[in-house]
Structure 1
Amino acid sequence: MRKTSLALAVAASTLGLSQVAFADFIGDSKANLTLRNFYFDNNVRNAANSPSSQEWGQGFIFNYQSGFTEGTVGFGIDAVGLLGVRLDGGGRSRTPAKDGQSRTPGALFPLESDGSAVDEFSKAGLTGKVRFSKTEARIGTLTPKLPILVSNDGRLLPQLFEGGQITTNEIDNLTLTAGQIERAVGRASSNSTGLSVAGGSQASNKFYFAGGDWKVNNDLTAQYYYANLEDYYKQHFAGLGHNLALGEGSLKTDLRYFRTTADGKNGNAAGRDGGYRTSRAFGDGTGEIDNNTWSAAFTYSLGGHALMLGYQRVSDDSNFVQLNQGGIESSAGASVYLLTDRLAHNFTRAGERTTFGQYSYDFASLGVPGLKASVAYLKGTNIQRADGTEAKEWERDLALDYVFQEGSLKGLGLGWRHGVLRGNAENDVDQNRLIVSYTIPLL
């Protein structure tokens, strides 16, 4: 009876609100359905029991964003629904784990108990939002794009996080953000799990963050963020971006610095032995997080041409880390906010010194709008293994994209990614991805 009375009260109060209160809520609503056809070929060339795989799937990504109700305080709801359907591949390309052990997921799909890919998987999320003046609070499903946490969207379906976030722009040219993340759903998983880092096997359910972006002027932006994954690490980030006009072109400067130290159980041997650790294969071998990483990149653009050159250095004691799902469900697969986060690898091992470059061209300058291409090369040296030896690696990436600009196929996107990773830090990899995408507006 109490539940019925409460439901009736809510319904009555909702009906009692004026139609004006919901005008923006409904009128400003947006919805679309993205169709993503994804072929993934990952050829591991020099591994025993090679985990090479070829997978092909169709993804359906539904996004709904409401407007806000009228009034001093506005309320709204966002929703996301994701479905991945296997078209081919994903068979027993990986050795099934022994009883009681987690299995390595496929690149696009989670695995059945026998090690084969599932026929389909799905996930969904709901986000409540509140707006007051120039401040917005969100609670529920989040896909953050911040220097200390980047939701990965590089496979069939995107990675999702669960928590709360508040963003304010009350001060002109200053955006402040703070929040807490409690759980995550991997890009190749339907399950919500706790949080960890690469190499960790124990879950933390508290990731706090806060920071801001200050637009000093039209050409200069400064950033600072702080993050804390309880029992794993504390991280400070400082960034600076600047644009300088040079004749008919422009020069973009991108400077990034991270300072990451141990927190809680990662700071003592007993906690690390219990699973609160990062990789012990590199650095000092303890699994304790103690890292400085900085990078500098410069991009010169002229017409359709863009040439980027950069350098990144990781300190010796441990790998660079950011929030992941680690070995909790083996559904790891996260992005890091570094320019070296590429197709096959991210060049974040202890001691690694990476020189990188990329050339991009937009064919709109030649009268072919929608066609873009790029080639990148990264070389990492001075990688510090825990056994005292050094390693090195390099990666070459090619990308080609075309989006139809008119006609019945307008908006249809075609993409090809090809990556080659070589070195003695891990297995050599040849990787190809073919992506066909199309977004259908529904509202």
Structure 2
Amino acid sequence: MLNAKKLTLAVLVQAALISTAVASEQSEAKGFVEDAEGSVLFRTGFIHRDKIDNRKDQSSYAQTAIVQLESGYTQGTVGVGVGAVGDWSFKLGSNNNAGNNMIPHDNNGEPYDQWARGGVNVKARISNTEVRYGTQVLDLPVLASNTARLVPEYFTGVLATSREIDGLELTAGKFTKNQFSDQIATDQNDLDRAIVWGARYQVNDQLNTAYFGVDNKDRLERHYANVNYKLPLANQSSLTFDFSGYHTDWDAKADGTARTYSHTSNDFNNLSNSIWAISTAYNTGPHNIMLAYQQNTGNAGYDYNLGAGVADGGQTIYMPNSYLSDFIGNDEKSVQLQYSLNFDQYGVPGLNWTSAFVYGWDIDANRAVRANPADPNSAIVARELVVDNATEREFFNQVKYTVQSGFAKDASLRVRHSYYRASDEYQGSYIGDTNEWRLFLDIPVKLF
């Protein structure tokens, strides 16, 4: 894997030298102040999880202002600039049952009344290659900031992105801190280092490909691949075929125990998972219908967002069957039918509705074996298989409206609901039966 990382970095360097392949972005720089941009996003967020079978509900209500500032690049062969991102938030109501990665808690477990986070970064650009160091919001399949909560997850490190060759984007970076959406400390997860690399290549207007990898020291190594092909049809209709997949190998903890939670093997030094999915979407006018099949293999589930030192983000699951549940159980197969409707042609531009049903089966459900069976808080030393045919299902609906013009242009309201149920054997291993509501009101304001 070290050779693969060196190869990626070498390609980045070579790409930076091929400045004649495409027009140089840096040559068009207008200046540090002239190209500066600033915005603030006012977001009101609400997540309520109605837990079934007498389990404690989870409800979070809060307001935030997310500020993003970007200078332009100075002119010249090498342009330099700075950026900043941050948020100031306060809770709405008591939030006594908060627990949806929305609101940070103090040392006594009480939700903060208000809190602020953020950081700065510096950047440099030569031709079409940019290097940025500092606090960043990432959108990489193997290292993605969780943007589905009140505020985004922040990473601290260096990221290089190169677009010297037409259609090809290369990425390489190293991150040493990550801050979850509900954390105030910038390094509360004790991340050592995560090295990321990858490439996106647009073969032509119809075919796109991508590969990414991450080496999270002493935690895991993960690879992602994607191929997307769009076939145009008559009457402005189209068929889109998509393949995506991950392969993950986990390291054992320092005490020799497993870092995953859905494994069925007790060889903790040899835990791995491969998850892949293929989908077909048919689009015609305002209608879009998608059918997807997703499958897990290996001796563990996908098992992401595992806490201390694991920088895989709360959103690093770029797979089609991902809603409230991600359908990532050990050995699980799942199928999805999704329908989306754009109301633009019905006289309501900006209004979209999505409905989906996902069913998963063949799940290997396990239970913990503790060092002291009489103590529910004692260390988990093994897991034993309970059943190999557990099931889960989810019915998902979302309505989103975005204002198209006027003083409130681009403001949006998103309302989503998930009805989730699992078989008895899978209740304690994952989410458990839940009805979830999410409401987010976003009001973006451009500062300059």
Same fold at TM > 0.5:
yes
Amino acid across the alignment from 2:409: K
1: CA distance, partners of 2:309 / 2:56 = 20
Write the mapping of 1:182-201 to structure 2, written as runs, cut at 5 A: 182-193=176-187
Structure 1 stretches of at least 4 aligned residues deviating more than 6 Å after TM superposition: none
Look up the match of 1:145.
139
How far did residue 115 of structure 1 move? 2.9
Equivalent runs, 1:7-22 vs 2, <5 Å = none
Alignment partner, residue 336 of structure 2: 356
Does the alignment pair 1:298 with 2:280? yes
Q: Does 1:370 align with 2:350?
A: yes
Within the alignment, does 1:345 sit opposite 2:344 as a pair?
A: no
**Structure 2 match to 1:17:** none
TM-score, structure 2 length as denominator?
A: 0.83
- Superposition RMSD on alpha carbons, in Å? 2.3
- The CA deviation at 1:153 is 0.5
- State the secondary structure of the residue aligned to 1:238: strand
CA displacement, residues 139-196 of structure 1 (integer Å, 9 cap, x when unaligned) = 111222122122111111111111111011111211110111211111111112365x
Task: Name which of structure 1's ranges 283-292 and 153-162 shifts more when overlaid on structure 2.
Answer: 283-292
Deviates more, 1:373-382 or 1:400-409: 400-409
The question of whether the paired residues in 2 share the 8 Å contact of 1:232 and 1:289 is answered with: no
Partner SS state of residue 364, structure 1:
helix
Indicate yes or no: 2:127 matched with 1:133: yes
Residue 411 (1) aligns with residue 418 (2): no
CA contact (8 A) 2:416 2:438 kept: yes
Partner of 1:24: 31
**Deviation of 1:345 (Å):** 1.6
For structure 1, the 5+ residue unaligned runs are 1-20, 95-104, 196-202
Asked if the contact 2:146/2:313 (under 8 Å) is kept, the reply is no
C-alpha contact (below 8 Å) 2:219/2:250 kept by paired residues: yes
Q: 1:286 to 1:429 in 2, by over 3 A?
A: farther
Mean CA deviation greater in 299-308 or 400-409: 400-409
For 2:342, the aligned partner's letter is D
1:68 aligns with 2:67: no
Following TM superposition, by how much is the alpha carbon of 1:327 offset from its aligned partner in structure 2, in angstroms? 4.9
CA 1:351–1:325 in structure 2 vs 1: closer, same or farther (change >3 Å)? closer
- Residues 356-435 of structure 1: pairs in structure 2 closer than 5 A: 356-386=336-366, 387-388=384-385, 389-390=387-388, 391-424=390-423, 425-426=426-427, 427-435=432-440
Paired residues, number: 394
- The answer to whether 1:176 aligns with 2:176 is no
**Residues 261 and 54 from structure 1, CA distance in 2 versus in 1: closer, same or farther, beyond 3 angstroms?**
closer
Aligned amino acid, residue 354 of structure 2: S
Deviates more, 1:25-34 or 1:253-262: 253-262
In structure 2, give the amino acid aligned to 1:24. G
Q: Given residue 246 of structure 2, which amino acid in structure 1 is its aligned partner?
A: F
Aligned residue number for residue 375 of structure 2: none
User: For residues 265-288 of structure 1, what are the alpha-carbon distances to aligned partners after superposition, in whole Å with 9 as ceiling and x for unaligned?
Assistant: x2xxxx464566111x44325555
Q: Conserved in 1, the CA contact under 8 Å of 2:192 and 2:309?
A: no
Q: CA deviation at 1:229?
A: 1.0
Aligned equivalents of 2:89 and 2:154: distance in 1?
14
How many angstroms apart in 2 are the aligned matches of 1:121 and 1:76?
28
Q: Does 1:313 align with 2:312?
A: no
In 2, the alpha carbon distance for the partners of 1:194 and 1:232 equals 16
What's 1:7 paired with?
none
Report the identity percentage: 28
Q: Is the 8 A contact 2:29 2:35 kept in 1?
A: no
Structure 2: 5+ residue stretches without partners: 1-27, 367-383
1:106 Cα offset (Å) = 4.8
For 1:442 and 1:397, how far apart are their aligned partners in 2? Answer: 36
Aligned to 2:222: 235
Are 2:43 and 1:36 equivalent residues in the alignment? yes
Aligned partners of 1:435 and 1:236: how far apart in 2? 32
2:52 is matched with 45
How far 1:332 moved relative to its partner? 7.5
